[in-house]
Structures are given as structure tokens and as C-alpha cells.
């Protein structure tokens, strides 16, 4: 074979490769020009042109601990194993108690959430993804320091439900809450993250109120948002242990309120928390609604939805009846948004949903030296006094 024939064969070969490459490019181009609407890849995404970072989310799958997060719009997936045990620390700057990572959360939790002899506590509600305002309130009231570490000693911080939904920094809030929970425990203090109607909704796959960012996160993981909080996830197991009603000293905390029906059903705090844990959180609606008591607890007169205290027809003797039933002197609630923390019936009812969800202003209730105060976002304290105001939404 002479040189010119060899060269000729080489050109044919190169030409063939060139044609194969360009034709495959053409095919790709045609694909992208005619998107198939049935293909989930082609669903419109709110953050399509923005860079999302979200996570981490921890999954227990087939005896493995898998961490997934979104970094600059891309899904990252890693397995936590012996040699990779510092993965969370390296990527996110925090660690999780290895016991919980390995074993998950216990199946039985303390349902009787009663705490006495607490000198100081703070309570905040309906944060709805507004991480920055939450951090500002906690920093300015010396509950956390500038590095977001617990400095509240033996104080108790009550987060009265509805961290989830609406805003776009829910994941950050959940991790910070988890971190503070662990730090407070070491100091003899306590963080109580309580269930609101929005935690209930997300865990039970009602995701009407999630921010578009989280639709995107779930889409990139090829799941629906609630699956980030399923029983086989770290968040899911942790959230399923959260109570619906607690008492601290002579104060009862509940996300929305205690209705007359709650009392006529003769339900206790212990029973409510047990049912939320065992039969409500993360369960299917069909199963929940079959049990009349569970159906009541998730309904409009149940503790995470009731709004009766803000109706003009409510009378003081009805409130006193509720206080007597629980042997407490105050009921603290969130769920119904007001411009600031409000007191009804001389602090018998204190509404602390100060509309943080809008992200502009919010307050935290501070209890110290036997008195309640409105803690403003710039760190001021105002003694809580009864004012008349109207709800501005929910
Ligand atoms: Zn609510």
C-alpha cells in the first residue's frame, strides 16, 4: 500500500468520525428544541436560571447513611462511612451525634412534657423560613452568640411550630434548631421545637405552601418534598418526636389553641403528644381520619388549627375553664398573625405570632423575673400589657 492510499483511508476514517460527532450533536440539538412535556426533566423550574444551594438532607437507605444536597443547582450525593465520618463537618461546619446518625431516633419519646422551676424562657412562633429574622431576634436577646451558639444557659427556648413552609430558608432553620437543641441540653437548658399545622402538613404530604426552591430541590432528587422528611430520613425521624403541647411552670404552650371541644373530649397533654407521635405525624390521612380522636386533633378545633381566642364572642370564663383543666395560669399560642405579641385577658392568653413570616419585623416573648416581655428585633424589652388589636392574617 503506497502512502497516498494510506492517507486516503485515514481521511475517510477521520471524515466518518467527524460525521458521527456532528450528527450526534444535531440529535442533541433537536432534542432540546422540542422538549417533551411528559418528561419530568422539562418541567419549568422557578430557580431555573438561579443558583440554588440547599441541604444537607440525610437518608437511611439499605443500611447506609446517605447525604444529599444541592450545590449550585447540582445534586451531590455521598455516603457517610468510617473514613468519611467528617463529611458533614467539612462541608457544612457541624456534626451530628453519631449515636443518632447510626441508630436514628428512639421509637418512644417523653410524651409528658412538663417542666417546672424554669427561671427564664423565650418563645417564638411561625417563623416560616425567615431564618435571618430568627437569628437576629435570638442574637439580640442573647440566646445565641454571633457564631450562632447557645448562650442562654439553663433557659428554655420554645419554638411554637410552623418553622416550615412559605419562606426559602427552612433547611437552615431546621439545622440551627437541631444544633441549639443539643447545645442547650449540655448547658442544662432546653429547646422545645413544637409541632405546628405546617409541620403536620409537610410530614403528611400536603405541600401546597412550600417555597418554589424546595420544589426544585425535591425535583433534582427525583422525589417529592415530603420524602425529604420521610421515616427513613434524619429530619423525618427527628420531627416525628416533636410534641404538640407542653407546659413550663404555670404556662401551657400550644401552636394554635385549646378549644372547648378538646376539653369535652377529656384529652390530656400526654395523650395528645402520644397520638401525634404514634398515629398522626407522617401517617396517611386515611388512617388518621379513621380514628375519631386523631381526626379531631388534626381538625379545625384541634391544637394546631384552633383560632377561637381571637373571636369577639370568646368570654373570660371560657378561658378560665381551660386554665383550670390544665392547672395552669397562661396559655401561649402562635398561628394567628398579629403586628406584635399580644396579651388577652390580662396575660391569660398570649399570642406570639408577630408576623415574622413577612420577613420584615418580628418579636420574641421573653419571660424573666416572673414577668412577660415583648422582645423586639433590635433587642428592646417591653413589659407585656394588654392591647386591643386585630389579627392581620394567618
Ligand atoms: Zn399555624
In a shared domain, residues 145 and 86: no
- Report CA(15)–ligand 1 centroid distance (Å): 67
pLDDT, residue 135, reads: 97
Non-local CB neighbours of 186 within 8 Å, separated by 6+ positions: none
pLDDT, residue 27, reads: 32
| 160-185 core/surface letters (b: 16 or more CB in 10 A; e: else) | bbbbbbbbbbbbbbbbbbbbbbebbe
- Report CA(84)–ligand 1 centroid distance (Å): 39
In a shared domain, residues 136 and 208: yes
Is residue 6 situated within a structural domain?
Answer: no
- Report CA(36)–ligand 1 centroid distance (Å): 39
Kind plus residue range of the DSSP H or E element containing 73: none
In a shared domain, residues 240 and 95: no
Is residue 331 situated within a structural domain?
Answer: yes
pLDDT, residue 84, reads: 78
- Report CA(243)–ligand 1 centroid distance (Å): 15
- C-alpha–C-alpha distance, residues 225 and 165, integer Å: 11
Is residue 159 situated within a structural domain?
Answer: yes
- C-alpha–C-alpha distance, residues 352 and 157, integer Å: 13
Q: Is 23 exposed, middle or buried (0-12, 13-18, 19+ CB in 10 A)?
A: exposed
Kindly give the pairing relationship between strand 74-80 and strand 190-193: unpaired
Output the domain CATH number for residue 209. 3.60.21.10
- Report CA(21)–ligand 1 centroid distance (Å): 57
Is residue 121 situated within a structural domain?
Answer: yes
- Report CA(22)–ligand 1 centroid distance (Å): 57
Q: Does residue 250 contact residue 329 with C-beta atoms inside 8 Å?
A: yes
Q: Does residue 206 contact residue 172 with C-beta atoms inside 8 Å?
A: no
- C-alpha–C-alpha distance, residues 191 and 187, integer Å: 11
What residues make up the domain containing 80?
28-103
Is residue 273 situated within a structural domain?
Answer: yes
Is residue 17 situated within a structural domain?
Answer: no
Q: Does residue 133 contact residue 356 with C-beta atoms inside 8 Å?
A: yes
| Crossing angle of helices 170-187 and 131-140, rounded to 10° | 30
Is residue 19 situated within a structural domain?
Answer: no
Q: Is 54 helix (H, G, I), strand (E, B) or coil?
A: strand
Tally of CB atoms within 10 A around 381: 14
In a shared domain, residues 41 and 86: yes
In a shared domain, residues 253 and 137: yes
- Report CA(273)–ligand 1 centroid distance (Å): 17
pLDDT, residue 6, reads: 61
Q: Within 56-141, where are the H helices? A: 87-92, 98-103, 131-140
In a shared domain, residues 148 and 52: no
pLDDT, residue 40, reads: 47
Kind plus residue range of the DSSP H or E element containing 53: none
- Report CA(303)–ligand 1 centroid distance (Å): 10
Which of 59, 74, 103 is where one domain is finished?
Answer: 103
In a shared domain, residues 122 and 51: no
pLDDT, residue 82, reads: 75
In a shared domain, residues 134 and 253: yes
pLDDT under 70: residue ranges of the chain: 1-49, 106-108, 386-394
pLDDT, residue 31, reads: 33
DSSP state of 82: G
Give the alpha-carbon dihedral of 178, 179, 183, 184, to 10 degrees.
-40
Which of 103, 138, 167 is where one domain is finished?
Answer: 103
pLDDT, residue 372, reads: 97
- Report CA(104)–ligand 1 centroid distance (Å): 28
Name residues with Cβ closer than 5 Å to ligand 1, which is an ion: 162, 196-197, 335
pLDDT, residue 37, reads: 39
Q: Is 255 exposed, middle or buried (0-12, 13-18, 19+ CB in 10 A)?
A: buried
Q: Is 320 helix (H, G, I), strand (E, B) or coil?
A: helix
Look at the chain and report how many structural domains it folds into.
2
Which of 54, 74, 103 is where one domain is finished?
Answer: 103
Is residue 241 situated within a structural domain?
Answer: yes
Amino acid at each position: 500500500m503506497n502512502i497516498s492510499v494510506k492517507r486516503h483511508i485515514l481521511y475517510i476514517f477521520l471524515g466518518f468520525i467527524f460525521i458521527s460527532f456532528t450528527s450526534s450533536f444535531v440529535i442533541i440539538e433537536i432534542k432540546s428544541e422540542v422538549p417533551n412535556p411528559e418528561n419530568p426533566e422539562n418541567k419549568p423550574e422557578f430557580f431555573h436560571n438561579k443558583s440554588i444551594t440547599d441541604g444537607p438532607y440525610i437518608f437511611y437507605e439499605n443500611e447506609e447513611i446517605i447525604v444529599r444536597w444541592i450545590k449550585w443547582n447540582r445534586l451531590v450525593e455521598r455516603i457517610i462511612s468510617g473514613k468519611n465520618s467528617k463529611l458533614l463537618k467539612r462541608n457544612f461546619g457541624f456534626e451530628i451525634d453519631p449515636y443518632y446518625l447510626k441508630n436514628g431516633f428512639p421509637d418512644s419519646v417523653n410524651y409528658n412534657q412538663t417542666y417546672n422551676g424554669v427561671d427564664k424562657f423565650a418563645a417564638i412562633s411561625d417563623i416560616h423560613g425567615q431564618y435571618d429574622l430568627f437569628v437576629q431576634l435570638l442574637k439580640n436577646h442573647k440566646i445565641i452568640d454571633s457564631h450562632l451558639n447557645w448562650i442562654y444557659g439553663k433557659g428554655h427556648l420554645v419554638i411554637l411550630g410552623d418553622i416550615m413552609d412559605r419562606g426559602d430558608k427552612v433547611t437552615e432553620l431546621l439545622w440551627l434548631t437541631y444544633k441549639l437543641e443539643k447545645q442547650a441540653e449540655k448547658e442544662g437548658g432546653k429547646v422545645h421545637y413544637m409541632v405546628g399545622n405546617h409541620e403536620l402538613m409537610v410530614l403528611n404530604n400536603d405541600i401546597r405552601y412550600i417555597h418554589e426552591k424546595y420544589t426544585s430541590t425535591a425535583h433534582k432528587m427525583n422525589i417529592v418534598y415530603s420524602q425529604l422528611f420521610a421515616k427513613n430520613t434524619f429530619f423525618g425521624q427527628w420531627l416525628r418526636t416533636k410534641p404538640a403541647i407542653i407546659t413550663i411552670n404555670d404556662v401551657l404552650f400550644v401552636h394554635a389553641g385549646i378549644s372547648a371541644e378538646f376539653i369535652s373530649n377529656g384529652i390530656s397533654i400526654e395523650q395528645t403528644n402520644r397520638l401525634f407521635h404514634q398515629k398522626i405525624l407522617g401517617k396517611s390521612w386515611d388512617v388518621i381520619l379513621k380514628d375519631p380522636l386523631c381526626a379531631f386533633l388534626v381538625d379545625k378545633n384541634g391544637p394546631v388549627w384552633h383560632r377561637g381566642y381571637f373571636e369577639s364572642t370568646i368570654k373570660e370564663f371560657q378561658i378560665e375553664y381551660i386554665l383550670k383543666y390544665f392547672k395552669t395560669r397562661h396559655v401561649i399560642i402562635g398561628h394567628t398573625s398579629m403586628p406584635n405579641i399580644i396579651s388577652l385577658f390580662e396575660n391569660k392568653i398570649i399570642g406570639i405570632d408577630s408576623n415574622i413570616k413577612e420577613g420584615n419585623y418580628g418579636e420574641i416573648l421573653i419571660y424573666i423575673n416572673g414577668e412577660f416581655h415583648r422582645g423586639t428585633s433590635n433587642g428592646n424589652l417591653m413589659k407585656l400589657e394588654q392591647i386591643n388589636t386585630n389579627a392581620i392574617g394567618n
